[in-house]
């Protein structure tokens, strides 16, 4: 029977060891669930990097289970028929006695660990395709998936989930108050309905109720309100899972507020049997957040770093025997002292969590993780030749780039997992060992943990006292200014308010009577970005840098998944800056609307330009731009032959050079001023 229980606690802070009991075994907490994409194509060998990484993880002794995002199949070219096959039996069955990716690969281990399935709420955000079911006034769709608890729970159960998160309605940073409240109410209703549906299940999965909020008060209200409304439900649930954190993961002080808000709302008689999971968080912050009461984490950043050819380098090693310059704790504050660095394998609290690319592997790289041991057997030079000097395979044809991306991901997973194991050991040791570790990280200012730990002591005065007793006075907020700091806690991510109520009718360039093309000679069409205005985004900035020589001759138009073409001069309009929408391949009607608007724009204004150029590498937007250019009968989409249709290709130097060279061919250089 699924459950969560607390096994042991540490008197210092709110850290604890626990166990999540699931049908496929126990998970020891604190735990890290790596995000794993199980559906990368029509069969178990599909998925490129993912297919190889999965098999590494399945055979890894420290791998406790995987987080799977229920709607992640939308990132791949999966047909409704293929998805039906994937749903025909549990994921565990698909990956039992499955074949290796290549005939010369060893037989992979079976997937036997717990499967944690998220609801895919973010993918469903403002979806035109996956809306309300026909019985509730919505339209039928070929996937037979809808944004309601019944449909998403069926999907999770078909996958064979051991742990599920209830269907939630994510809250983007700075969503306006009215829509924020409505989405929280909808998420609570969804969670209640999910638990009601599971009451008749003979062996239901563990359930984590998805919750949201960007400050202490909101998340505290959310948890308390749900608990008040769930009193009539017989089906137990195993914990809460805090979502909408990915945009906030660099603001560790806000993460502190959110974790404290959730923990403080749980009644004392439920604290030991309710876990707390954090979506999208891993690495250097896990020790601090565990100290404050978080029990489990998940993240895909270990894979994302590898996709940019990056190894995560925690730089373990400072001798604990030399941790300060001869202080006397009775007369000095330990928070004032730095460390004398003596690289050993004994301590880790000055870990810098830096990254280096595969072409910069240090000569003395001594990582002993299974991935790096495997790479040593192959040869790091072979990795570099294949990754940087070949199209795909090494000269002998045995290893593809995907093999090395997977091994780098595996290394990054091992770094995160090793940190989680170490945190568990410190809790087992007790006597405030985890608090000491976090305090030392704070004293050395690892990842702004100093500010975050001090922030935690604003509300947790017992934690402040425990730090002072250990000589870390300056890592605490003084009682005299604690109330003022409490008032300053809620820092907005930015100034732009977000609304999820926008529709394509809120902006249509074809209906703007104030729009005119200037004397620019080239129309440059780019995909939109989550960052607004688009010109401030990293994707647009790298293009601006690559085309700076011709900036006065370029008329930039962004293809918005919400509105279609948006000329640069309109990027700061409220409806452009405040919408939040993710266009996927499954949104056929919206894709056609965007393409039709782009074709109409080209028919109206295209003849005013000497050249029409698109620069797009992600599949959805590239397809739309290619379709529009084809229907119009003019325009070239670059890069002409990307190695893959993915966002990572957008930043590839050779692709940006191809864009620059094309502009150089169609435009003379602008003379210096």
The model's pLDDT over 606-658, given as tens digits with 9 standing for 90+, comes to 999 999 999 999 889 999 999 999 999 999 999 999 887 777 789 888 999 99
Q: What is the pLDDT of residue 51?
A: 94
The model's pLDDT over 490-528, given as tens digits with 9 standing for 90+, comes to 444 445 677 888 999 999 999 999 999 999 999 999 999
Q: Is the peptide bond before 137 cis (omega within 30 degrees of 0)?
A: no
Q: Is the peptide bond before 119 cis (omega within 30 degrees of 0)?
A: no
pLDDT band at 329 (very low <50, low <70, confident <90, very high): very low
What average pLDDT does this structure show over 114-133? 88
Task: Kindly give, in sequence order, each residue whose CB lies less than 8 Å from that of residue 396, ignoring residues fewer than 6 positions away.
Answer: none
The model's pLDDT over 283-292, given as tens digits with 9 standing for 90+, comes to 889 999 999 9
Residue 355 three-state SS: strand
CB-CB contact of 408 with 314 (8 Å): no
Q: Is the peptide bond before 30 cis (omega within 30 degrees of 0)?
A: yes
pLDDT above 90 (res 487): no
Q: What is the pLDDT of residue 68?
A: 98
**Packing angle, helices 401-429 and 433-443, rounded to 10:** 120
Instruction: Name the superfamily (CATH) of residues 504-666.
Output: Uracil-DNA glycosylase-like (3.40.50.10630)
> How far apart (Å, rounded) are the C-alpha atoms in residues 584 and 588?
8
Fold entry, domain 3-307: TIM Barrel (3.20.20)
- Residue 50 has φ and ψ, to the nearest 5°, of -60, -40
Query: How are strands ordered across the β-sheet holding 163-165?
Result: 31-34, 296-299, 275-278, 239-242, 206-211, 163-165, 115-118, 66-69
Q: In which residue ranges of the chain is CATH 3.40.50.10630 found?
A: 504-666
The model's pLDDT over 10-52, given as tens digits with 9 standing for 90+, comes to 989 999 999 999 999 999 999 999 999 999 888 888 888 999 9
pLDDT above 80 (res 467): yes
CB-CB contact of 643 with 405 (8 Å): no
CB-CB contact of 211 with 218 (8 Å): no
> How far apart (Å, rounded) are the C-alpha atoms in residues 497 and 206?
36
Tell which wins on pLDDT, 263 or 493. Answer: 263
Q: In which residue ranges of the chain is CATH 3.20.20.105 found?
A: 3-307
106 φ/ψ sector (left φ>0, alpha ψ -120 to 50, else beta): beta
> How far apart (Å, rounded) are the C-alpha atoms in residues 514 and 520?
17
Sequence-ordered strand ranges (E) for 322-431: 354-357
């Amino acid at each position: 029977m699924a459950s969560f229980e607390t096994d042991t606690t540490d008197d210092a802070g709110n850290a604890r060891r626990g166990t999540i009991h699931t049908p496929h075994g126990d998970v020891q907490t604190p735990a890290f669930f790596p995000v794993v994409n199980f559906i990368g194509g029509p069969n178990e060998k599909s998925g490129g990097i993912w297919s190889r990484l999965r098999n590494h993880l399945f055979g890894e002794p420290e791998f406790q289970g995987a987080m799977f995002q229920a709607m992640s199949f939308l990132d791949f070219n999966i047909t409704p028929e293929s998805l039906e096959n994937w749903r025909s039996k549990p994921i565990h069955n698909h990956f039992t006695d499955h074949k290796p990716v290549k005939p010369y690969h060893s037989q992979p281990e079976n997937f036997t660990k717990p499967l944690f399935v998220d609801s895919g709420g973010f993918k469903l955000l403002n979806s035109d395709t996956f809306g309300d079911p026909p019985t509730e006034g919505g339209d039928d769709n070929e996937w037979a998936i809808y944004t309601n608890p019944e449909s998403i729970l069926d999907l999770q159960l078909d996958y064979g989930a051991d742990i599920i998160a209830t269907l939630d309605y994510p809250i983007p940073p700075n969503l306006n108050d009215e829509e924020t409240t409505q989405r929280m109410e909808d998420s609570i209703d969804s969670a209640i309905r999910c638990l009601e549906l599971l009451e008749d299940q003979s062996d239901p999965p563990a359930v984590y109720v998805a919750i949201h909020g960007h400050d202490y008060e909101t998340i505290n209200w959310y948890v308390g309100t749900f608990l008040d409304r769930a009193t009539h439900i017989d089906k137990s649930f195993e914990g809460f899972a805090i979502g909408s954190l990915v945009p906030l993961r660099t603001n560790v002080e806000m993460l502190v507020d959110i974790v404290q808000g959730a923990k403080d709302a749980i009644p004392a008689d439920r604290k030991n049997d309710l876990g707390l999971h954090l979506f999208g968080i891993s690495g250097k912050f896990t020790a601090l957040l565990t100290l404050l009461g978080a029990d489990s984490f998940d993240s895909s950043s270990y894979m994302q770093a590898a996709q940019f050819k990056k190894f995560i380098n925690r730089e373990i090693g400072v001798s604990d025997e030399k941790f300060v310059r001869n202080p006397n704790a009775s007369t000095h504050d330990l928070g004032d002292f730095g460390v004398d660095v003596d690289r050993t394998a004994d301590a880790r609290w000055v870990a810098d969590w830096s990254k280096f690319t595969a072409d910069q592997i240090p000569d003395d790289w001594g990582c002993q993780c299974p991935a790096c041991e495997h790479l040593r057997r192959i040869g790091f030079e072979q990795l570099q030749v294949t990754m940087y000097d070949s199209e795909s395979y090494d000269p002998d044809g045995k290893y593809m780039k995907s093999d090395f991306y997977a091994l780098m991901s595996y290394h990054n997973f091992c770094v995160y997992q090793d940190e989680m194991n170490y945190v568990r050991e410190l809790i087992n040791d007790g006597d405030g060992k985890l608090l000491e570790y976090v305090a030392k990280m704070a004293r050395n200012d690892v990842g702004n943990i100093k500010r975050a730990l001090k922030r935690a002591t604003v509300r947790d005065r017992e934690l402040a006292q425990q730090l002072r007793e250990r000589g870390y006075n300056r890592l605490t907020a003084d009682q005299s200014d604690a109330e003022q700091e409490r008032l300053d806690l809620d820092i907005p991510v930015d100034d732009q308010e977000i609304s999820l109520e926008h529709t394509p009718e809120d902006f249509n360039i074809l209906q703007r009577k104030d729009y005119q093309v200037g004397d620019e000679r080239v129309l440059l069409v780019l995909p939109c970005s989550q960052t607004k205005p688009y010109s401030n985004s990293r994707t647009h900035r790298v293009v601006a840098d690559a085309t700076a020589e011709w900036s006065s001759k370029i008329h930039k138009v962004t293809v918005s998944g919400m509105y279609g073409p948006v000329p640069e001069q309109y990027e700061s309009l409220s409806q452009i800056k405040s919408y939040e929408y993710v266009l996927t391949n499954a949104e056929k009607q919206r894709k056609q609307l965007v393409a039709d608007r782009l074709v109409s724009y080209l028919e109206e204004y295209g003849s005013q330009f000497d050249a029409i150029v698109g620069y797009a590498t992600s599949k959805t937007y590239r397809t739309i731009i290619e379709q529009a250019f084809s229907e119009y009968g003019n325009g070239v989409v670059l890069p002409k032959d990307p190695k893959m249709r993915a966002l990572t290709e957008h930043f590839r130097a050779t692709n940006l050079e191809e864009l620059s060279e094309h502009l150089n061919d169609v435009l003379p250089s602008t003379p210096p001023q």
